[in-house]
């Protein structure tokens, strides 16, 4: 069954970080699929907000990814410098999501495409 394991996603995130020079706080954690498979979950913490972004494939085996913002426990209040920093963080997250979608096209975990 095609999916992206934690190991595969760690490699992809490492490749993205090496090519982009950004996203050093991004990590991959274990996410158990409905059948118990290690499907991986990409976590993008935001330094300039109290929220964290999670990325995962929209559906098992598909190239499209979805981004989820976890609920914020507190209100985020930023000055202009912090808001600009958050915009940069979101831009990196968007680039990573596009990168993961690109790497997912035609990927078969068994064949390590």
Q: Per the domain annotation, does 109 fall within a domain?
A: no
- Give the tokens for residue 13: 């995130």
Residues 2-22 have a mean pLDDT of 87
Q: Per the domain annotation, does 90 fall within a domain?
A: yes
Domain span at residue 65? 6-104
Number of domains in the chain: 1
Q: Per the domain annotation, does 111 fall within a domain?
A: no
41-81 pLDDT tens trace: 899 988 888 888 999 888 766 789 999 998 888 888 999 99
Q: Per the domain annotation, does 110 fall within a domain?
A: no
**Pseudo-torsion of CA 34, 11, 96, 110, nearest 10°?**
-40
This prediction's pTM = 0.84
Judge residue 79's burial from the number of C-beta atoms within 10 Å of its C-beta, 0-12 exposed, 13-18 middle, 19 or more buried: exposed
């Amino acid at each position: 069954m095609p999916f992206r394991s934690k190991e595969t996603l760690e490699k992809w995130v490492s490749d993205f970080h090496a090519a982009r020079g950004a996203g050093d706080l991004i990590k991959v954690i274990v996410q158990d699929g409905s059948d118990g498979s290690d499907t991986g979950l990409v976590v993008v913490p935001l330094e300039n907000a109290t929220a964290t972004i999670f990325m995962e494939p929209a559906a098992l085996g598909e190239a499209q990814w979805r981004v989820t913002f976890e609920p914020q426990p507190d209100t985020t209040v930023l000055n202009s410098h912090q808001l600009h920093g958050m915009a940069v963080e979101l831009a990196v997250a968007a680039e990573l999501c596009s990168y993961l979608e690109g790497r997912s096209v035609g990927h078969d975990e068994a064949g390590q495409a």
